[in-house]
A and B are shown apart, each in its own frame.
Chain A
Amino acid sequence: MARRAGIRRRTWLRLALLVVTAIALLTLDARGSGGVLDTARGAAQEVLGPVRRFGDWVTGPIRNAWQGLIGFDELETENAQLRGELAQARASVLRVGELERDRQELLALLDARDVVRAIPRVTARVIDAPVSNFERTILLDRGSRDGIRQGMPVESGDGLIGRVVEVNPSWASVELLTDPNFDVGVRIVRSGDGGLASGLGPRRELDVSYIELETVVIPGETVVTSGFEGSTFPAGMLVGTVTDVEPDAVRGAQRVTVHPAADLERLRWVQVLLYEPNVAEPVIVDREPPEAER
């Protein structure tokens, strides 16, 4: 009887110890003071990187063959879908051109310099194999060896997609702008008013707060990064377009909903902007220099 009680006590003690350890680790991680944890995780990812790539290489043809076998009937549908996507992509090129004009207009309005274009960038492939069903980041096949640092902005051809949150020599992970932890200072092109865009979760739109009640915001307007002092994003990166505007009388501001310009579900190739806010910005002037300077 006493032996059984001893066993039970030891079991509880062990369970309590493990639970307390887990809670301590969670606290460390939440406080962002998990330097050792990040190092350990980074080392594990680095070691497993080749395994992951090898697995992708080995299973790729098998997956393709399997898809070919089971998906033969669906090929026609897929073909039609791809034709639709091609048409959409063509329209998207036009839309991007239009948005780019809007962005340039904003820069001119704000008398801002177009630093975005002058920032050197690294093109990276999205490693399309999350290891968990609960992954919130995407992995890129480029890392610190290529000059990528934590906090750097990432964009696709269509616009901003997120920021680098973790870097190792050969890979980097990117937090998408729809992530609930993601915040970025933005500006509405036409009015020039600034606000804070926050992610609301996968496949959801962005919520922009702190837009004054007096500001006229119309659905369809373009939203770009504001690049305020200390921001890890340069001014003028395309974020998306306004889809809905609701006055929030309690907060004395408007709640603006923004649809991201980039398609976050179909990311294959992205560009990491090697932008660090403390580094002197490259000086590129959009507008013609004054007569006196010529």
Chain B
Amino acid sequence: MMAGAGPLARSTLVLAVAVVVHVGLLAHITPAGVIVDPLVLLTVAGGMMGGRSTGASFGGGCGLASDLILHTPFGMSLLVLTLVGYLSGAITEQIPSAGRLTRAATASLLSAGAIGLFAGAGWLMDLVYVTEAPIVRIAIVTGVASLVTNPLLERATRWALIIRPRMTASPESTARGG
């Protein structure tokens, strides 16, 4: 049914599924007391698959969805995930022919870094409830979750952004996908 749909419709569907999984499932399963945010993992995968430009847009979409469901200041997730998407694309462009394991490890580090960036934004905005959260633990659990789920998320974002296999994060894919 979605075969003929464009990247916007597909991305919206993937985001909606991620939000439902977040609210309905992951919010209730908390490894080490941490809630894994699938929108962070999805942003990283989107940036890695689509490049910096598409990554920024895809991250922006994820951020906006995140802003709608969280109680943090509106726009904070949009800002952070836009930057995460952009940086994920920019960093992946420096690793031209990475294997599956390297990509998963990169995604893991980027996801953990995204939590650090979120905490940094919270610190800048003087949000005590963000800076006082167990950031290191959240970053580690998010990183591990990203490592495990990256192949699935890569597949989902590749479908959403209509990226053919093996075309990951080149400036050309950025121009086309974005």
Classify the secondary structure of A's interface with B: helix
Assembled-state Cα–Cα distance A27/B73 (Å):
9
Residues of chain A from 24 to 75 with CB closer than 8 A to chain B in the complex: 24-30, 34, 37, 40-41, 44-45, 48, 51-52, 54-56, 58-60, 63
Interface window among A79-87, A94-102, A133-141, A263-271? A133-141
Assess whether A41 is in contact with B68, with CB atoms less than 8 Å apart: yes
The reply to whether B74 and A37 contact each other, CB–CB distance below 8 Å, is yes
| The stretch of B16-24, B102-110, B159-167 that contacts the partner chain | B16-24
Contact in complex: B28, A11 (CB < 8 Å): no
Task: Output the nearest chain A residue to B79 by Cβ-Cβ distance.
Answer: A22
Asked if residues A14 and B72 are in contact (CB atoms below 8 Å), the reply is no
Complex contact A22–B75 (CB within 8 A): yes
Q: Which of B5-13, B50-58, B150-158 participates in binding chain A?
A: B50-58
In the bound complex, how far is the Cα of B70 from the Cα of A37, in angstroms?
Answer: 12
Complex contacts, B126 vs chain A, CB 8 Å: 180
- Verify A201–B132 contact, CB threshold 8 A: yes
Q: In the complex, what residues of B have CB within 8 A of residue A180's CB?
A: 126, 128-129
Chain B interface mostly: helix
Stretch binding the partner chain, chosen from A124-132, A154-162, A185-193, A240-248: A124-132
Is B120 an interface residue, CB under 8 A from the partner?
Answer: no
B82 located at the interface, meaning its Cβ lies under 8 Å from any Cβ of chain A in the complex: yes
Most A-side CB within 10 Å, residue of B63, B75, B78, B175: B75
Check if B74 sits within 8 Å of A59, measured CB to CB.
no
Given contacts A22-B78, A23-B75, A179-B129, contact A59 B67 (CB under 8 A): no
Q: Are A45 and B129 in contact (CB under 8 A)?
A: no
Closest to A10 in B: B53
Nearest A residue (CB) for B86? A15
Q: Are A134 and B133 in contact (CB under 8 A)?
A: yes
Chain A contacts for B78, CB-based, 8 A: 18, 21-22, 25
Q: Does A89 contact B (CB under 8 A)?
A: no
Across the interface, name the chain A residue whose C-beta is closest to B27. A131
For A25, the chain B residues whose CB sits under 8 A away are: 67, 74-75, 78
B contact residues around A18 at 8 Å (CB): 56-57, 60, 78, 82
Closest to B142 in A: A133
Q: Check A19–B82 contact: CB distance below 8 A.
A: yes
Query: Contacts of A52 on B, CB cut-off 8 Å?
Result: 23-24, 27
Determine whether A226 belongs to the interface, using a CB cutoff of 8 Å to chain B: no
A265 CB to nearest chain B CB (Å) = 13
Residues A7 and B174 in contact in the complex (CB < 8 Å), given A133-B35, A201-B132: yes
Question: For chain A residues 87-111, which have a beta carbon within 8 Å of chain B?
Answer: none
Least CB distance from B34 to A in Å reads: 6
Asked if A40 contacts B68 (CB within 8 A), the reply is yes
**What are the residues of chain B within 8 A of A60 when measuring CB–CB?**
28
Q: Which listed residue, B25, B74, B134, touches A55 by the CB 8 Å rule? A: B25
Q: Which residues of A contact B (CB under 8 A)?
A: 4, 7-8, 10-11, 14-15, 18-19, 21-30, 34, 37, 40-41, 44-45, 48, 51-52, 54-56, 58-60, 63, 129-137, 166, 173, 179-180, 200-202
